[in-house]
Structure 1
């Protein structure tokens, strides 16, 4: 990462470099929250699925499986309650990380749009416009950050 910022010395000034570094940090933060959210969503799905499989297995082995007996089985054994609590915990945690992900995405997108809008000020038109293109290309291919258009 340091070699990239050393490369940018010839294409951008100090404040522009700091804005680009902040943009990369926000992108990494956003991707981290997205990854955590997906992990907890999968954990929630696995916990809930295992609980359902246990209940189905138990209901097929019972001589008469009625909804009342299944509910009584769920409430009577702590194993099922633990699976329900684990599923609920995983779901709530995934919801928490989803909110964090949305907030981080908004911050990332806002800074990205700000850089795009201020690109004419950061790289004056005639003399440094080629440097702007080099920086945009580098950010696109190195970090998958599109600085060409404001749309997501």
Structure 2
């Protein structure tokens, strides 16, 4: 990663390099929240599935399911675990959406200001190299504003 940023010195100036580094950090933050959200969603789904399986196995009659669930702390624990996992996934989803918005906003800003960041015609060719490196190394598309 250090060599990539040292290569960027020949194609960009210091402020542009900092903008690109901030963009990479925001992308990593967004991906981290997305991963956490997926993990907690799967956890909540597994907890709910286990709760349903345990109720189906242990319940003597379908009419007594609610009574069975409320009378044993074991079932209450699984209901609380499921609710906690779901709420945590919801929390990370909100964080993910905010991080995605911040990432997309900075990405669009770089795209819109590319004529100011690489003003000379010879620097404009360097822009293409930077955009390709960002696309291949970090999967960040700086060619178009659409997601």
**TM-score greater than 0.5 by the shorter chain:** yes
Q: How does 1:115-130 map to 2 (within 5 A)?
A: 115-130=110-125
Give CA-to-partner distance per residue, 1:32-71, whole Å, 9 cap, x none.
0000000000000000000000011123xx2xx133x111
5+ unaligned residues in a row in structure 2: which ranges?
Answer: none
Counterparts of 1:146 and 1:108, CA distance in 2: 11
Deviation at 1:127, TM superposition (A): 1.9
| 1:2 and 2:2 matched | yes
In the alignment, is residue 74 of structure 1 matched against residue 88 of structure 2?
Answer: no
| Superposition pairs of residues 39-78 of structure 1, within 5 angstroms | 39-59=39-59, 62=60, 65-67=61-63, 69-78=64-73
Partners of 2:34 and 2:121 lie apart in 1 by: 40
Q: Give the structure-1-normalised TM-score.
A: 0.95
What is the RMSD of the two structures over their aligned residues, measured on CA atoms?
A: 0.7
Match of 1:90 among 85, 95, 113: 85
Separation in 1, partners of 2:120, 2:16: 15
Q: Normalising to structure 2: TM-score of the pair?
A: 0.98
Gaps of 5+ in 1: none
Equivalents in 2 of 1:92, 1:74: separation in Å?
A: 21
- Runs of 4+ that moved beyond 3 A: none
Aligned twin of 1:26: 26
In structure 2, C-alpha distance between the alignment counterparts of 1:127 and 1:141, rounded to whole Å = 22
> How far apart, CA to CA, are the structure 2 residues paired with 1:21 and 1:115?
12
